[in-house]
Structure formats: structure tokens, C-alpha cells
Structure 1
Amino acid sequence: MSAAERVPGQFTLVLHSHLPWLINHGRWPVGEEWLYQSWAHCYLPLQRILRRLADDGYTDQLSLGITPVLAAQLDDPAAVAGMYEWLADWQLRAMEAAIDDDPDRRASGHREYRAAAAALDDFAQHWQHGGSPAIRDLLSTSVMELLGGPLAHPFQPLLDPRLREFSLHEGLADAQLRWGTRPSGIWAPECAYTPGMESLYRDAGVSHFMVDGPTLHGDTALGRPVADSDVVAFGRDLTVSYRVWSPKSGYPGHGAYRDFHTYDHQTGFKPFRVTGKSVPPAAKKPYDPTLVDAAIDTHVDDFVACIRQRLIDESARLGRDALVVAAFDTELFGHWWHEGPIWLERVLRRLPEAGITVGTLATARRDGYVGDPVELADSSWGSGKDWRVWEGPQVAHLVQLNREVTDTALDSLDKRLPAHGSADPGADPRDLTADQILRETLMTVQSDWPFMVSKDTAAGYAQDRAYKHAHATREICTASDAGRDARAASLAAGWRRADNLFGALDARRLPTRDWSEK
């Protein structure tokens, strides 16, 4: 492709990787199984893709968000051991299927055995010490930009300002500790925003963040500095993103692809293809890998053509080179869409062949894909693009729970912690009880629980988790407020053992209360 055939502008792919803390909170059908499935089918393949691209000299291929709570699980020794066992069990189940009397089940067993063997080998080579070493290796190649975020993935606009500031700063510090770098960009949980958050980001050293397209009124062709800050909001281009994944259409629904919803309950595998959108599970046809390659190539060509035309059209509209940002949950690629990782790698390799410049959010900011400042309104990437999923009537009880638990925790912490708060955290010894109060509070208010209730996706599990962490917060605070320090410390230690995450969280960095507002 000659230089004259270069398409104007830049394309950026953003992937958001997140799961709530699942270790020691159930296994099947809800719990650790979610982590192990996503790890095997999404995180391992994605890192293989990035390693191959890096080996071939590709740089700045995507902006990859990894939330601190997911990063903690990928590094957790119990999770690493559990993952290895899960992969071995996958292979054993495949061996049983491979000798079944049914020919379709045998074929499925052979496919699954090969996939499990490859995953076990990959895991042993690159993941045996957790996720952070593998991520550090990728960062050293410059194949991607890493996006951070606040601890425990809270819905920030509804969070007490002190807790909002604390969770963001601690999340960025967590990234520095794990990966040896402090991200300059973040994926704001749920792409949620409320006016003033740009000041929080600026003070934390964040230079850019993601919002959904409607937050920028659909004009996502450039990043925009927010209000009077120099913090840039980049918007998801829905025209492009929905080409792949939308509520009603998208590539994963093609008849040749593996069906996500239909199980063979004897083996636990998914040996059927989509067949047709209106075809009931009992009528699904067996998965046929020989049909898949052509479908993937068709969808790669369609997506590349879509990006190319979008860049040309938006650049012409602006009168300058435009930016196109497509953003997805990482878990789409491999978990929800079995063929997604293959499609993803082919797209990234074919984009430059089509004359399209690929870069990250950081390179877009550096290279001037930034327009005029903009005032943003309350928003998210959820249903209605507002906050209804996280504060609607169906989750009013969780909103109230979060408010009460936060008030209880902050009142108790103000009694325990020295008055200088975050101004000089080294002047007083670390308070492990205070640390645990904050840890449990953040686990209570994470955005996953109201989302799961609103969407009726394992709603009972979500409510149980929220109330369990709320109970932990309250009982530690009750003992602390009563002056029963030994009891509070014992409770805190017990809950700390139950959920072994965020060991570097330090309550001494909690901002002090502005008593003039009380």
C-alpha cells in the first residue's frame, strides 16, 4: 500500500477487562467459574495475540483496560492454583467426550482437548506467577497502552467524594505496584461521569478517559478536553462498535459461529453452532469448524471497510484527520464470541494493509486528535446512557445500603484515623482495622451488584455479596466505635483472610473530612 493511499486519521481499539472479586465466593454456576472461563477463553488468547503482534514489530495496537479488582484476581495465588486445576479438568472432560459413542460429541471432545492442552502449555509458560509478570512483558514491547481505574470498580458519580478520590488514587497506586507504571489513562467504571470528575482526574495525574458516544452527543471524531481542564474525554463510536456487538445484531450471531447459550449437558461443552437466530436449542446443528474461516474473513473485511469509510467520512466532515474509537468488553472475545480472538488478530493485521493508522488513546492525545473543550452531563454507557441501571427503582435498596454503609464507615474512620489524614500518611503507624473497613466498604459499593440486579443476571448472588460486605463493614465499625479495639482487629483480620486483595490499600491516605460541610 503506497503512502498516497493512506486513509486519513487514526483508529483506536479499546478493550475493558473486568470481573468482580469472585475468589472464595461460590464456584458454580456463579462465582469462580466466571473467572476461570474468562481467563481461559479471553485473557490467555488476547495475550497470545499481543505477543505475536509484538514479535512481528507491531506497536500501539490497542488501549487495554484492566481493573484493579481483576488484576488482583489474576495475581492471587489461590486463583492461579484454581485456574490450573480448572484447565486440567477441562482437558479431562475433553478426554471423556473424545471416546463417547456419539460422533458429534467425539469431535467436540477432540477440539476441546487440543484447546485445553494449548491453554495449559500457555499458562505454564506465561502465567505461573500470576498476571502481572505477563503484563509487564507486554508493556515492555509497546504493543499496547494500559488503562487503569479505581479500586473495586465503583459507580463513581454516586460515590461519596472522599471515597471516590480515595478509590481512584489507590487504584492507580495498585497499577504502579503491579505493573511498574502508573497509567495516564483510565476506563471510568461503566463510562460513568458527573460534572467535576475531570478535576479529580487531573489531580490524580489522569490525562484521558473513556465515555460513551452519546455523552459527546455522538460526535466522537476527536477527543475533547472537559470543561476548563486539560483532561481529555474520548468517546466510543457506536456506529463502528455496534457493527460487532449490539443488542440486536452483530457478527457473533452468524449461523456458522459457535452458539454461546446451547450446552451439551453431558460434557458441559458447547458443541453447536448458532444455525439461525430463531432456531431453538434442540434444533441447533453441530459446530463445524470448516464453515468458520470464511465467516471470520467476511466479518474482518466488513469491519475494516467500515473503519476505512468512517475515517474518510469523518475527516471530510471535520476538515481534518479524524479519530474513530471502537470499545468493547474484553470478555466478548473468546467467551461470548468463541471466534472473536481470531477475528481480532486478523483485524489488527489487516488494518494497516488497508492504509489505516492504528494507535492508542495515548497516541491520539499525543498526535493532536483533540478538539475544542466540552461540557459533559451526567452519563454512562448503560441502558438509556444515564444512571438508571445503578440508581433506578429496582436497585433503590442497594443505593440506600451503599449510602448507609459509606456513612457508617467514614464516621468510624474519622474517629480512628489521625486528623491529618492523607497529608502525612507516614507520620502514624498503619491501621489494619481501618484498612479493612475501607476494603469492605469498597467491595460493598462496586457497580457490579446493582448492574446484576437491574439486568436480572444472577441477581440473588449480587444481593448476597453486597449485603455480606456491608455486614462485614458494619460489624468491624461497631466494635471499633465501642472502643473494643481487640475485637475490631480480630474481625478485620478474619474478613481480610476471606478476601485476600488490595494488600497495599492504606487508610491513612483517605482524604480528611471537610467539617465545614457537615
Structure 2
Amino acid sequence: MFALVLHSHLPWLANHGRWPVGEEWLYQSWAATYLPVTSVLRRLSDEGRSNLLTLGITPVLAAQLDDPHCLSGMHHWLGNWQIRAHEAAGMPDAAHRDLGAHEHRAASAALADFETHWRHGGSPVLRDLIDRQVIELLGGPLAHPFQPLLDPRLRAFSLSEGLADAYARWRHTPTGIWGPECGYTPGMEAGYQNAGVTHFMVDGPALRGDTSLGRPVRDSDVVAFGRDLQVSYRVWSPKSGYPGHAAYRDFHTYDHETGLKPARVTGRTVDSTDKAPYDPELAAAAVDKHVADFVETIRARLREESGRIGRDALVVAAFDTELFGHWWYEGPQWLEKLLRALPEAGIRVGTLADAKKQGFVGEPVQLEDSSWGSGKDWRVWAGDQVADLVQLNSEVVATALETIDKVHGESDTRLRNRVADQMLREALMTVSSDWAFMVSKDSAAEYARERAHKHAHALREIAEAVAAGKDTRAEQLAAGWNNADGLFPGLDARRLPAHAQPNSFDRTNPTESTESTP
């Protein structure tokens, strides 16, 4: 069996800047990836195809796809794209006219798709795909924290609330998750099992490269599926992946008059000013070539792994969803053609849930600390470069938990406490794994640090008011900060575990402990 797994995630960007980092990132990804990929899945479903891929949607991305501000901003962005294309089509030179005509058609189709399917948010779109059984949905914890470094109480809360958020949006509670950054430490499998999670993703090296079957983790029934790097890197490799082919659209080259992307990759060492114009026919030919190559890669890998283990093997390829369209313009075309070509080549396609149900599970594994980041360890989120953020996260979480315990100890917990709720929101937003990733990778590092400290400031400001007995002030601050972002309205601090359970994960000795109970 071949299983394709896509992980869809962006940090919370609404009302936190527009350009060069901020809402523009959301709208570009929405237009280039989320619209065309869901359209591909609907078309294939209309042909009677099902169980095509496993799609992870993080709660923080789902919240933005449903957010009224983001929906309005997206509609405006699509209209602006159409206007820019129209202006290009009216320019005197043939290159701009051809580019403008191509982009105008794309923008018009995107607008029609958005106005038809997305006007009430992303939840109806995704629920339709779930109901059609075209995808298996993977969930995840609220706000995308790097779970191995997170206090066990907050980790358990974040996971249970993330699964509850999925049910609220889609009337479906995922049994599988993509843990943020594929981060794992021993003990987390017990927390997953307590939360009703039956399977999750890890990177291939976490299973020492033996990804041919899912593996129950330690003493639990929770199965870890590993990303097959040999297959996955065929697509997404900085040195030899398909998106770097000369015929594909160049992501980094802009026409500064229109903001459109006029060039093809041309060559890896070719300067932007010397790149050749984009040619859709050349790109389409490359797509066909790479679909055929990937089908043969999967076929060869399945034969190789099945022969090695003496039974039918599983191959899992996993990518960020945003690769398909946002980073790799032709990605949605490739995806649609691939999902048609695989069954035609006799290759069984299924979801992770299908793989588990159909017995593609081997012997238990003593999984150790891992991630899918650089070095496959935790250096991206816990290294020297982000030591200040690690310390900030620790202080913020300690302050939040201590203050919330104080609030709950002094108030009637039969009633929801909006101050406690908001402190948890700000703590979770502070510890988002995105900020450390962006700093470690030097990708908008200043923006990332600013975001982490802004949410930390909000938490501290509210907590200081609580500590000083200024209840009215704390309520005002909590309401103001909640209005600034307005996400996760269902979050309820009363569901925070009162204390770490006896079997909770001990960060000082992670190999001899388990996760706390949600």
C-alpha cells in the first residue's frame, strides 16, 4: 500500500502584519494551495474515488480558514490578484500580455471557487471531503506547540482541546494526528492513547529508516507511521527534488510592476534577471515526466521493501501541504495526475487508518526523542540559537499555570472564567513551535521573536492584574487581548488538568515516564 500524507499548517497570522510576513502568507497559501488541492480532491471524489490521502489540518490553520476577518481579507486578495493580472494583460509587450492573460484566468477561477465553496469558511469544505470519505483527517494540539518541551498539564490540555476543536468544526474527532514538527519523547504515546489517538506520524529516522510498517510504540496500542525519506525526498529535496526542474515556475522571481511571477526556474545558478519566461506547456510536460517517475519510484520501493520484510509493505510519503501550489506552482497538477496514475499502475492507495485497519503494522518499537527538523532531534526548538525562547516559554507556562490555579482556587468553577481562558490562549500562542523554527532557520526571525514576546506580554499583563487582586482590570485586559485575535472561542480553562497525574511525563527523566491524563 502507498499512503500520501499532507500536513497543513500556518501560524496565527490574522491582524499581525500583512507584508512581508503576516496575512499575505496566509492568502498566498490559500490561493495557491488550499483552493486548488481541495478542488482536486472534489473532482476525484466526483469520479467515485475514495480514501485518496491523509490530510492533516492544524487547529490554528482551521481557525484562520473560518475566521470572518480572514475570509474577507482573502476575498479582497483574490480580487486584487485579478486586477493585477488585468493590468498586466493591458501592457504593450507580449510577455506581460501573455502573463496577464494566464494569471487572469487563474484568478477568475480561484474567485469563482472561493465564492462557491468557501464563503462560509473552510469547515464546510473540509467536512464535505471527510463525509465523502475522500480523505482521512489528522488533527493536532491547539496552537502547534513543540510537545516534547511542553509542561505535561499544558500538553495534555492542548491535545484534548485540539481534538475537541476538530469535532466542533467538522463533527469528526480525528483518531490520527500529526504532532507538531513530528516531535516525540517517550511517554507521549500514553497521552495519545488517553486522548483517543490511535496513530501518529514520525520521521523516518525515528524508526531507524524501517518505515515499511506502522509500529506500536512502547507498551501502548498507539501506532507510529514513519515517513519514507527515500520516496519523499524524490519530490522535496533541496538538491534534486522535482520543484527545482528548469521548466517549473520560479517561486522567488517577481515582476515588480505587477507583483506576478513571470519566470521559470531556468537553472539553479541563473540570476533572476536572466531567467526565461514561464511556459505552461513546458511545465505540463515536466509534470507528466515527474508523475511517471514517482509512480515507478513507489513501485520499486514497494517491491524492495516487501522483499526485505517477507510480506506486503507500506510506503508513506509525507509533505507540507503548502508545497503543492504555494512553493511548487505545478504541485496541484502533479498531485491530481499522480492520484489517477497510481491505481492505473496497480498500486493500492490508502490512508493511514486504512493501513492500520488492513494490518500494515509490525512489532512494537522503543521510540526515542525525535522530530523531523534538522538533525532529526530537537535542536531547532531547543538549541542555543533559541535559548531565549526556551526560557521565555518556560516562564510563561509556569506563570500561566500558577495564576490559573489561583483563579480556580478562588472562584466558582461551575462558571467559565474568561480571564483563565485568555491566559491559556496567550500561553499557547507564546509556545507555538513556529517562532523557534523561524528563528533557527533565520526566516523572519525578528517577526517570530516579536510575536512570541507579544503573547508573553499579554499573559504577564493579565497575570499581574490577577496577582494584585485587580479583578476588573484583569477582565478588561483578557477581553481586549481576546478581541485582538479572537481564536479558539471554545477553549475552556476548567478542562485544564488540576495537576500532573502520577504517571505524568517527567522532563528530567523522560525515558522512565509517561504522559499525563487529559
Q: TM-score range by the shorter chain?
A: over 0.9
In structure 1, what is the equivalent of residue 71 of structure 2?
Answer: 80
Asked if 1:280 is matched to 2:280, the reply is no
Given candidates 251, 254, 263, the residue that maps to 2:245 is 254
Residues 420-462 of structure 1 show CA distances to partners (whole Å, capped at 9, x for unaligned) of x9xxxx9610000100000000000000000000000000000
Query: Helix, strand or coil: the match of 2:48?
Result: coil
Tell me the amino acid that sits aligned with residue 56 of structure 2: G
Please say if residues 214 and 223 of structure 2, whose CA atoms lie closer than 8 Å, have aligned partners that are also in contact. Answer: yes
Residues 64-86 of structure 1 show CA distances to partners (whole Å, capped at 9, x for unaligned) of 00000000000001100110000
In structure 2, what is the equivalent of residue 463 of structure 1?
Answer: 449
Given candidates 366, 376, 382, the residue that maps to 2:367 is 376
Please say if residues 423 and 463 of structure 2, whose CA atoms lie closer than 8 Å, have aligned partners that are also in contact. Answer: yes
Tell me the amino acid that sits aligned with residue 14 of structure 1: V
Q: Take 2:42 and 2:279, find their aligned partners in 1: how far apart are those partners? A: 28
In structure 2, what is the equivalent of residue 324 of structure 1?
Answer: 315
In structure 1, what is the equivalent of residue 49 of structure 2?
Answer: 58
Cα offset for 1:293? 1.6
Q: How many residue pairs get matched?
A: 504
Q: Take 2:125 and 2:284, find their aligned partners in 1: how far apart are those partners? A: 29
Task: Name structure 2 gaps, 5 residues minimum.
Answer: 507-518
Task: Name structure 1 gaps, 5 residues minimum.
Answer: 1-9
Cα offset for 1:482? 1.3
Asked if 1:18 is matched to 2:4, the reply is no
For 1:207-356, list aligned pairs within 5 A. 207-356=198-347
For 1:492-503, list aligned pairs within 5 A. 492-503=478-489
Q: Take 2:337 and 2:501, find their aligned partners in 1: how far apart are those partners? A: 57
In structure 1, what is the equivalent of residue 432 of structure 2?
Answer: 446
Residues 225-257 of structure 1 show CA distances to partners (whole Å, capped at 9, x for unaligned) of 000100000000000000000121210011110
Given candidates 136, 142, 150, the residue that maps to 2:141 is 150
Q: Take 1:515 and 1:157, find their aligned partners in 2: how far apart are those partners? A: 17
Cα offset for 1:490? 0.2
In structure 2, what is the equivalent of residue 166 of structure 1?
Answer: 157
Q: Take 2:91 and 2:151, find their aligned partners in 1: how far apart are those partners? A: 57
- What's the TM-score once normalised by structure 2's chain length? 0.96
For 1:379-418, list aligned pairs within 5 A. 379-418=370-409
Structure 1 outlier segments of 4+, above 4 Å: 514-518
Q: Take 1:515 and 1:160, find their aligned partners in 2: how far apart are those partners? A: 12
In structure 1, what is the equivalent of residue 496 of structure 2?
Answer: 510
Residues 279-320 of structure 1 show CA distances to partners (whole Å, capped at 9, x for unaligned) of 111110110112112111000000000001111110111111
Query: Helix, strand or coil: the match of 1:134?
Result: helix
Asked if 1:183 is matched to 2:169, the reply is no
Given candidates 15, 23, 31, the residue that maps to 1:40 is 31
Cα offset for 1:514? 4.5
Given candidates 118, 121, 129, the residue that maps to 1:127 is 118
Cα offset for 1:418? 4.2
Tell me the amino acid that sits aligned with residue 300 of structure 2: Q
Query: Helix, strand or coil: the match of 1:89?
Result: helix
Given candidates 473, 478, 490, the residue that maps to 2:476 is 490
In structure 2, what is the equivalent of residue 472 of structure 1?
Answer: 458
Q: Take 1:301 and 1:513, find their aligned partners in 2: how far apart are those partners? A: 54
Cα offset for 1:515? 9.8
Q: Take 1:86 and 1:152, find their aligned partners in 2: how far apart are those partners? A: 25
Structure 1 pair 209–46 and aligned structure 2 pair: CA distance change class (3 A): same
245-254 or 451-460: bigger deviation: 245-254
Structure 1 pair 515–487 and aligned structure 2 pair: CA distance change class (3 A): farther
Q: Take 2:458 and 2:362, find their aligned partners in 1: how far apart are those partners? A: 47
Q: Take 1:31 and 1:294, find their aligned partners in 2: how far apart are those partners? A: 35
Residues 19-65 of structure 1 show CA distances to partners (whole Å, capped at 9, x for unaligned) of 00000000011100000000000000011001001100111100000
Cα offset for 1:106? 1.4
Query: Helix, strand or coil: the match of 1:417?
Result: helix
Query: Quick one: percent identity of the two aligned structures?
Result: 69
Q: Take 2:148 and 2:409, find their aligned partners in 1: how far apart are those partners? A: 27
Q: Take 2:114 and 2:228, find their aligned partners in 1: how far apart are those partners? A: 34
- What's the TM-score once normalised by structure 1's chain length? 0.96
Tell me the amino acid that sits aligned with residue 452 of structure 2: A
Q: Take 2:125 and 2:68, find their aligned partners in 1: how far apart are those partners? A: 15
Structure 1 pair 515–175 and aligned structure 2 pair: CA distance change class (3 A): closer
In structure 2, what is the equivalent of residue 4 of structure 1?
Answer: none
Cα offset for 1:101? 1.9
Q: Take 1:283 and 1:441, find their aligned partners in 2: how far apart are those partners? A: 47
Cα offset for 1:158? 0.4
Given candidates 421, 424, 441, the residue that maps to 1:435 is 421
Please say if residues 153 and 500 of structure 2, whose CA atoms lie closer than 8 Å, have aligned partners that are also in contact. Answer: no
Residues 328-362 of structure 1 show CA distances to partners (whole Å, capped at 9, x for unaligned) of 00000001000000000000000001110000000
Q: Take 1:66 and 1:214, find their aligned partners in 2: how far apart are those partners? A: 24
Tell me the amino acid that sits aligned with residue 430 of structure 2: T
Query: Helix, strand or coil: the match of 2:55?
Result: strand
Query: Helix, strand or coil: the match of 1:357?
Result: coil
Residues 375-433 of structure 1 show CA distances to partners (whole Å, capped at 9, x for unaligned) of 011000000000000011010000000000111111101101149x9xxxx96100001
Cα offset for 1:102? 2.2
Tell me the amino acid that sits aligned with residue 441 of structure 1: A
Q: Take 1:417 and 1:42, find their aligned partners in 2: how far apart are those partners? A: 43
Structure 1 pair 55–475 and aligned structure 2 pair: CA distance change class (3 A): same
For 1:360-375, list aligned pairs within 5 A. 360-375=351-366
In structure 2, what is the equivalent of residue 3 of structure 1?
Answer: none
